[in-house]
Structure 1
Amino acid sequence: MASVRYFLWIFIVLLLPHNQTSQSLDATWWALGLESSFNQYEALRNPDVLIFGTQQMCTQLPGLSPGQRKLCNLYSDHMGPIGEGAKVGIEECQYQFRDQRWNCSTSDQESVFGRVMRIASREAAFTHAISAAGVINSISRNCREGSLQTCGCSRASRPDDLPKEWIWGGCGDNVEYGYQFSKNFVDIREKDSTPQKGSSESKRIKMNLHNNEAGRRAIYAKTDIQCKCHGVSGSCSLTTCWLQLPPFRVIGSYLKEKYDGASKVRVNKKGKMDIFEKRFNRPSEEDLVYLQQSPNYCLSNEETGSLGTKGRECNKTSIGTDGCDLMCCGRGYNSYRVEVVERCNCKFKWCCYVKCKRCKLTKDVYICK
């Protein structure tokens, strides 16, 4: 079986297009989360894969900086979880912004979110935070599951307020390792650059590093202790506790709140971030920060990378951001009547399944002009 996996590995490497080594200015490791990239690193998840060819594979992976390629060579089995983390970050971004004019669309294969990420806006702040959080989330879980060679269950210290008779030591999510590896892998992309001090690029790097850290701290803020009772006939004679990550939707909602309250900052001559409005508190390491106002997402703009809202579906009756007035930016909308097939008249059958009919329904759909 190992020989079969080995030849599969060689086959994948040989099929990879060899012009991917020259990355564009906008190329980023987020591309590992796209479906088109998933098969390229899936072989790296297998610890039985021989070292031969690993360096070539890491060179071919899309969007990696020089430092990230080195980490790929050293920790090849981590690349699958990193790709999963990027994927869950992209999907969560799209969920949280599904009703916004900017909806986190993946517009190309290299920069993922497109040219709009060149603008140091609050949207860029959110994407950096949710992506960094996705990596720590995925690595931490894979450690607990025993999928990675260099980590295992969490070794977090026993909480002081845990009752003495309760056992601490269930196999928890290894947030400590996930945090450190995420910090090394995600942040090294920014540290690979050596821009001139005081330049716009150096300021953007400070912003990205701050928001990366905010994403990782969101994981820490929401990770909690879980306990389980053990005993005969439902008695709770023994209680075991461990550290457990929350569902990633909780992290996404938490960071969306941080996005809504993000602070516009500037970088002073000393390289420190200052807020524009002195009446507001200085943002903490858990808060999101941005340097530039967001572009107009109403209209398609090739220069800024805005896709516009033409063709987006809207809600005629809503007064929120998904409503046709706001989503269509006052341009109006077209209405269509479509026929959809949905599950209906569902009934529980003993035992144990749900049986549904399929019903045809007529639905009104509103599309922005």
Structure 2
Amino acid sequence: MTPEYLLRSLLLLIVALFSANASNWLYLAKLSSVGSISEEETCEKLKGLIQRQVQICKRNVEVMDSVRRGAQLAIDECQYQFRNRRWNCSTLDTLPVFGKVVTQGTREAAFVYAISSAGVAFAVTRACSSGELEKCGCDRSVHGVSPEGFQWSGCSDNIAYGVAFSQTFVDVRERSKGSSSSRALMNLHNNEAGRKAILNNMRVECKCHGVSGSCEVKTCWKAMPPFRKVGNVLKEKFDGATEVEQRKIGSTKVLVPKNSQFKPHTDEDLVYLDSSPDFCEHDMKNGVLGTTGRHCNKTSKAIDGCELMCCGRGFHTEEVEVVDRCSCKFHWCCYVKCKQCRKVVEMHTCR
């Protein structure tokens, strides 16, 4: 091998590692709060940030607690959406938070990047609307009378500010000299797809005004969807994610479907570069915890069923006593009183 080839290979490896660790800022979710000490100390000591993110932090210390909440939102939603999958978004106390799974260009990494960028946009926007941040407030560009005849009023969510901050903070690692690498392009695309999941599902909420609850006058505002809706949308995009490869078109490097028979992906779709492991066996080298000890559903034929979840290894069955609320009655006015009932159920866990 020539020295030039070795140098080029080393540079490509550095770029790949640089992009692969772009989600390290998710470690903020491990903190109880951000910003309780001086700006300099706060930002310099935050684990997982690159220097450019530290600089953004110093200029926006008041926003960083929202970023922390966005990271926690993303982790919680990921774990909810994948609770019945072999890979269930389990986190570590080390970097990267999701283990080495996200350092590969898999569809799992695609989901993590999308839900994370969406989490920051959502949490920052929510902080704007609730008056927590001096730099932003409600979206005052939404005003006047709509074509439907209602009055725009109230506090419309300032999603433009939330999205802009997410682009600045989350995308900063990728927008570097390595931003034309396949992995950087993949991350940037999925980051934007996450934000699109909020933007494309904004809704109109209204309140009626008039005598005895009549709707003589209706005032409305624009609101973000619940974050669960965002998670549901991105989970669907995960299931239909497109495998891509880099191609040069003119002077521009772009991602195109690896299989030319597939239609091109849109800005809202998730894309990935590498096939996923089966997540069956414990493999800490690749950040895979395996499914041994996971609960499974004996009667299900889906991925949460014992046959698929346990990867054909079989499962243990034991009887456990559970306590449920039962015989609930509504009492006037206004509470519900329940009894506690004990029952024995079968619990199945993978070998």
Match of 1:286 among 268, 272, 288: 268
Please state how far the C-alpha of 1:161 moved relative to its aligned partner: 5.6
Match of 1:144 among 123, 126, 129: 129
* 1:364 corresponds to: 346
Specify the SS of the correspondent of 2:340.
strand
CA-atom RMSD, angstroms?
1.9
- Structure 2 Cα separation of the partners of residues 266 and 155 of structure 1: 42
Does residue 275 (structure 1) correspond to residue 275 (structure 2)? The answer is no
Deviations, residues 311-366 of structure 1 (Å, cap 9, x unaligned): 10000001111000000000000001111222221111111111111222111100
Q: Is the 8 A contact 1:85 1:136 kept in 2?
A: yes
Deviations, residues 293-326 of structure 1 (Å, cap 9, x unaligned): 0012011112211111011000000111100000
- Structure 2 Cα separation of the partners of residues 146 and 43 of structure 1: 19
- Structure 1 Cα separation of the partners of residues 79 and 49 of structure 2: 23
**Which residue identity does 1:129 align to in structure 2?**
A
- Structure 1 Cα separation of the partners of residues 141 and 341 of structure 2: 52
Q: How does 1:87-166 map to 2 (within 5 A)?
A: 87-157=72-142, 162-164=147-149, 166=150
- Structure 2 Cα separation of the partners of residues 159 and 226 of structure 1: 15
- Structure 1 Cα separation of the partners of residues 254 and 178 of structure 2: 16
Specify the SS of the correspondent of 2:200.
helix
- Structure 1 Cα separation of the partners of residues 332 and 231 of structure 2: 38
Does residue 188 (structure 1) correspond to residue 181 (structure 2)? The answer is no
- Structure 1 Cα separation of the partners of residues 179 and 166 of structure 2: 26
- Structure 1 Cα separation of the partners of residues 90 and 140 of structure 2: 38
* 2:8 corresponds to: none
Match of 1:312 among 294, 298, 319: 294
Match of 1:216 among 186, 195, 215: 195
Q: Is the 8 A contact 1:78 1:139 kept in 2?
A: yes
Specify the SS of the correspondent of 2:182.
helix
Deviations, residues 76-107 of structure 1 (Å, cap 9, x unaligned): 11011111111111111111111111111112
Please state how far the C-alpha of 1:254 moved relative to its aligned partner: 0.4
**Which residue identity does 2:117 align to in structure 1?**
A
Please state how far the C-alpha of 1:160 moved relative to its aligned partner: 8.6
Specify the SS of the correspondent of 2:63.
helix
Gaps of 5+ in 2: 1-17
Match of 1:299 among 281, 291, 303: 281
Please state how far the C-alpha of 1:109 moved relative to its aligned partner: 3.3
Q: Is the 8 A contact 2:118 2:194 kept in 1?
A: yes
* 1:43 corresponds to: 36
- Structure 1 Cα separation of the partners of residues 84 and 35 of structure 2: 33
- Structure 1 Cα separation of the partners of residues 330 and 179 of structure 2: 66
Q: Is the 8 A contact 1:296 1:306 kept in 2?
A: no
**Which residue identity does 2:228 align to in structure 1?**
R
Match of 1:81 among 66, 74, 77: 66
- Structure 2 Cα separation of the partners of residues 30 and 138 of structure 1: 14
Deviations, residues 157-201 of structure 1 (Å, cap 9, x unaligned): 45996324x21122111111111111111101222x43496xxxx
Does residue 240 (structure 1) correspond to residue 219 (structure 2)? The answer is yes
Q: Give the TM-score of the pair, scaled to structure 1.
A: 0.85
* 2:50 corresponds to: 65
- Structure 2 Cα separation of the partners of residues 118 and 160 of structure 1: 49
- Structure 2 Cα separation of the partners of residues 181 and 265 of structure 1: 28
Match of 1:261 among 233, 240, 246: 240
Deviations, residues 270-302 of structure 1 (Å, cap 9, x unaligned): 421111111211111111000000012011112
- Structure 1 Cα separation of the partners of residues 341 and 155 of structure 2: 46
* 2:209 corresponds to: 230
- Structure 2 Cα separation of the partners of residues 187 and 83 of structure 1: 16
Gaps of 5+ in 1: 1-22, 45-52
Q: Give the TM-score of the pair, scaled to structure 2.
A: 0.89
- Structure 2 Cα separation of the partners of residues 159 and 183 of structure 1: 30
- Structure 2 Cα separation of the partners of residues 160 and 62 of structure 1: 47
Structure-2 change in CA distance of 1:281 and 1:292 (3 Å): same
**Which residue identity does 2:69 align to in structure 1?**
E
- Structure 2 Cα separation of the partners of residues 277 and 110 of structure 1: 34
Q: Which moved more, 1:263-272 or 1:292-301?
A: 263-272
**Which residue identity does 1:325 align to in structure 2?**
E
**Which residue identity does 1:187 align to in structure 2?**
D
* 1:28 corresponds to: 24
Deviations, residues 32-61 of structure 1 (Å, cap 9, x unaligned): 123xx123x1537xxxxxxxx211111111
